[in-house]
A and B are shown apart, each in its own frame.
Chain A
Amino acid sequence: MKKKNNLAILICLFAVTIAAAVFVYQPLWQKISGFRPWKLGLDLAGGTYLVYEIDLSQVAAGDQALVVNGLRDVIEKRVNLFGVSEPRIYAEEVSGQHRLVAELAGIKDVNEAIKQIGETPLLDFRETIAVASGTEALTDFSPTPLTGRYVKAARLNFDNITRQPIVELEFNEEGSRIFSDLTEKNIGKPLAIFLDNNLIEMPMVKEKISGSNAQISGGFTLETARQLVERFNAGALPAPITLVQQQTVDAELGVDSLVKSLKAGLIGTLAIMIFMVIFYRSLGIFASLALLIYIALSLAIFKILPVTMTLAGIAGFLLSIGMAVDANILVFERMKEEIKRGLGRRAAMEEGFKRAWTSIRDSNISTLISSFVLYYFTSSFVRGFALTLLLGVLVSMFSAITVTRTLLRVFVRDRIEPVKNENKE
């Protein structure tokens, strides 16, 4: 008999659920292990969400992805310097416009953070083009691929002769190659060095330089040179950025919202369980059990992946609780019908699951369509919602069908002798 198998499956399921529940419940999990806390979004943990627009007009189309990635790394390095726990820095491309998003959780002084990100030096080398205009010899500049993103390190030094402070730059491998090509191409011509779009100096290139070092001696004072070195070591920006969106949330407001949502979720869940038991009696008890398993399993999945939990994400999950029992309702109603038709409880149950499947599948697919569109059309705030809804639907199909069916197969007995007619039309 298959019953033994089902019992084994069920025991495994309960074991997994209890493990999941312990893993999910923070106070208990913290006692067992400090590993893997919940990952809270900015709106719950408090923090700042910054969106920068990246100006790539000076960058060749083929290099754009590289520049954006370099920029991301630089800003990340910058942000790490002022001690944000787990900052999330990522690039986004929306209809051809490149953006950089920085999510800084739990940050105290937003103003300072914005200032420091903005202060990262923007360095680039430009070729000079002599333009003769009347009597005056003017110079025009054309951008080159050599920018601050190839700077590996910077040092403060002093000129041997003048004792003026100078800034020594060390390029990485790629930067060195570009630098040597550039100097070879421009022998006998000046090469302009721009810092934050200001011309710093235009040294004459005497020969091809194949090392990885360059010097800037722009008439710095000791103080400005030292500052520049610090800024370079924190990373130079390969493309200019402008702040276009900013959002700051106080942690207190977030915690308050979280507590309220969880309370509402608990009440909603209890209400559903009571409703199911009143309406479907013993079947309702199994559905409620499956619902609890659903909650523990999906939360564990959110935590393991991890899904960043935002307020919207929690709302999405709570709504999926309201839908998780839908499949149960469809199956139970179908069971009732089959019993009326004369089938025994066990046969009616199997028939109920089989017959209700098409509408359960079609309903869930339509919710999946909505979640997919939601996921791909918006910002990270909405993504949390879409992701929890999507995962919730998938897990609920498992809980409402596989879990409930296993439960029923183990526990449901025919009240009367099984009716042995296979009259299914």
Chain B
Amino acid sequence: MKTKNKMDLIRKKNVFIVFSGLMVLASLVLAAVFGFQPGIDMVGGTEWHLRFDRYVEPEAVIKVLQESSSDLNNLSARNRDDGIVVRLPALTESDHQKYLSVLEKKFGSVTEGSFASVGPTIGKELLRKSIWALVFVIIAISLYIAWAFRKVSRAISSWKYGLITMATLFHDVAIPAGLFAFLGWRLGLEIDTNFIVALLVVMGFSVHDTIVVFDRIRENILRSNIGRTTLKEIINKSVQETIVRSINTSFTLFMVLVALLIFGPASLFYFLLTILVGTVFGTYSSIFVASPLLYLWRPRQVFKE
């Protein structure tokens, strides 16, 4: 098999692996240093979207609410869409009505775009369930891959495919998580149910490309004369043969995501951004990380070196 004039992925494997390793490390450091700003559905609290007849400063809303009740602290307000989003601790319905009338008295007509109040126990439970869901999906997909590739065990045992899938999945969710830790620190962006959903979706999607490459490696291993071909050749050839389709399949998803980011509703922006970032890094890891890891972990006695 000629490999002239074609990219030699395996020769540059260290560059790719080190780059990914550094990205994941940076993400973990960001997450450890800044932590995450949890949304109300994760820890409980109230999110209240208000629209006024005239322009009202967020600070003015805070001031009026605080003056009306001395035990009301921990509240914030900022502009969003054509109104103001106020954050408060979890409210009872009577408090909700009380504050609404206070605001109406001060600012005139007030339209409630949305009102959401979550008790603290519900929030904690959701956080716990989210973490379990993430762990469960990573393990389930990896086990599935290990099982689906069981027929090629004679060259590379299939649990290696599974474990490498697990590593790339972790990579694909760690980077958006790091980004959100950073955005949480810079912009006060919060992680909520949508964020967890986005991470789960990223895992489901990003593994597609990994499967395509692994599937081709599996096929090429079965076709080739193992004693005479090096794994390096097989992997390089497999990646070359599949890189266009890997990129194209991600690109169609990418187009929908970008269309939604630009023209879609503002409330889904960060949800879509998480999926977009995850998809981009997922495609990268499928092509440039998964196969080099497989190479590093090759059984040296089986393949020609």
Interface residues of A (CB under 8 A from B): 51, 53, 94-95, 97, 110-111, 114-115, 243-250, 252-253, 256-257, 260-261, 263-265, 267-269, 271-272, 275-276, 279, 311-312, 315, 318-319, 321-323, 325-326, 329-330, 333, 337, 355, 358-359, 362-363, 365-367, 369-371, 373-374, 377-379, 381-382, 385, 389, 425
Is B201 in contact with A319, judged by CB distance below 8 angstroms? yes
For B241, list chain A residues within 8 Å (CB): 337
Cβ < 8 Å to A, chain B residues 186-210: 193-194, 197, 200-201, 203-205, 207-208
**What are 15 pairs between A and B in contact, CB < 8 Å?**
A53-B119, A95-B125, A111-B96, A247-B114, A249-B113, A256-B265, A264-B259, A264-B264, A267-B259, A276-B252, A315-B271, A329-B245, A362-B144, A369-B141, A374-B133
Give the residue name and chain of the A residue nearest to B262 (CB): A264
Is B253 in contact with A94, judged by CB distance below 8 angstroms? no
Interface residues of B (CB under 8 A from A): 49, 81, 92-93, 96-97, 111-119, 121-122, 125-126, 129-130, 132-133, 136-137, 140-141, 144-145, 148, 193-194, 197, 200-201, 203-205, 207-208, 211-212, 215-216, 219, 223, 241-242, 244-245, 248-249, 251-260, 262-265, 267-268, 271-272, 275
Query: In whole angstroms, what is the CA distance A363 to B208 when docked?
Result: 5
Give the residue name and chain of the B residue nearest to A355 (CB): B219
Is B256 in contact with A366, judged by CB distance below 8 angstroms? no
Is A373 in contact with B208, judged by CB distance below 8 angstroms? no
Given contacts A247-B116, A247-B117, A264-B264, contact A366 B144 (CB under 8 A): yes
Is B265 in contact with A249, judged by CB distance below 8 angstroms? no
Nearest-neighbour CB distance to chain B for A313, whole angstroms, equals 11
Nearest-neighbour CB distance to chain B for A395, whole angstroms, equals 16
Q: Which of A94, A111, A243, A323 is in CB contact (< 8 Å) with B252?
A: A323
For A312, list chain B residues within 8 Å (CB): 194, 197, 268, 271
Q: Which of A51, A244, A268, A381 is in CB contact (< 8 Å) with B260?
A: A268
Is A51 in contact with B122, judged by CB distance below 8 angstroms? yes
Give the residue name and chain of the A residue nearest to B251 (CB): A275
Query: In whole angstroms, what is the CA distance A322 to B93 when docked?
Result: 42
Give the residue name and chain of the B residue nearest to A385 (CB): B197
Given contacts A333-B244, A362-B148, A370-B137, contact A378 B252 (CB under 8 A): no
Is A370 in contact with B268, judged by CB distance below 8 angstroms? no
Q: Which of B92, B111, B215, B275 is in CB contact (< 8 Å) with A362?
A: B215
For B49, list chain A residues within 8 Å (CB): 253
Q: Which of A94, A318, A337, A385 is in CB contact (< 8 Å) with B256?
A: A318
Q: Which of A111, A250, A268, A425 is in CB contact (< 8 Å) with B111?
A: A250
For A367, list chain B residues within 8 Å (CB): 204-205, 208
Given contacts A268-B260, A378-B129, contact A244 B122 (CB under 8 A): yes
Query: In whole angstroms, what is the CA distance A252 to B258 when docked?
Result: 25
Is A326 in contact with B129, judged by CB distance below 8 angstroms? no
Is B193 in contact with A382, judged by CB distance below 8 angstroms? yes
Is A370 in contact with B251, judged by CB distance below 8 angstroms? no
Query: In whole angstroms, what is the CA distance A244 to B123 when docked?
Result: 10
Query: In whole angstroms, what is the CA distance A121 to B22 when docked?
Result: 62
B212, B223, B254: most-surrounded residue (chain A CB, <10 A): B212
